[in-house]
Amino acid sequence: MSIEYIGEDILYLLSIPATDGSGDTYERFFNQTDGNTSIEADDVELETKDKTETAYGKVGQTISFGGIMTEGDVAFNALKVAIRKKKYVSIVEFDKRTMEGEQGVYKLNSYEKDSSVGDNVSLSIEASLSGEVTPVTLTEIPDGAPPNEADGTP
């Protein structure tokens, strides 16, 4: 029997290199609400007197994900700083079931903050892969958002 995946099974994590060279630290984006990975390939048309074929052209990958702005979330804030400074970021698409993921370096295309009256402030990110992805295996899932204590009850 196969068990289908649900949205909560896939997380996006920000990989931050340790300053002492001891490896990466993985930060979870708090209160993620959605995510999307898109891989597309351009066509290259080959046509001769003998045959007509379609081959792979340029292959590109984009990711987009969003969440609710939450106090203490260093990952979303780091992306805002990175896009303003034109820096690339390392992001992992992570499978909570297998504890495995794919890490790649991404160019940030957009950082959006929507703050409608009466609603939670939502954040949206879109980024394009620059280079290749590499496999990542983690032994534990980074902590998510702390409990909401705004109403006085933990």
Residue 23 lies in a domain: yes
C-alpha 115/C-alpha 105 separation (Å) is: 29
Number of structural domains the chain divides into:
1
Q: State the pLDDT confidence band at 152, using cuts at 50, 70 and 90.
A: low
At 120-131, the pLDDT tens digits run 999 999 999 999
pTM of the model: 0.86
Q: Is 147 helix (H, G, I), strand (E, B) or coil?
A: coil
Backbone angles phi, psi at 81, to 5 degrees: -65, -45
Residue 116 lies in a domain: yes
Residue 2 lies in a domain: no
CA end-to-end distance (rounded Å), the chain:
38
For the chain, give the longest Cα–Cα distance: 76
CATH classification of the domain holding 88: 2.40.10
Residue 133 lies in a domain: yes
Q: Is 117 helix (H, G, I), strand (E, B) or coil?
A: coil
Which of 46-55, 127-136, 141-150 is predicted with the least confidence, judged by mean pLDDT? 141-150
Q: Which domain does 79 fall in, by range? A: 7-39+58-137
Name 142's Cβ contacts closer than 8 Å, sequence gap at least 6.
Answer: 13, 26, 27, 28
Residue 28 lies in a domain: yes
Residue 68 lies in a domain: yes
Torsion of the alpha carbons at 123, 70, 5 and 95, rounded to the nearest 10: 100
Residue 25 lies in a domain: yes
Residue 45 lies in a domain: no
pLDDT at 70: 92
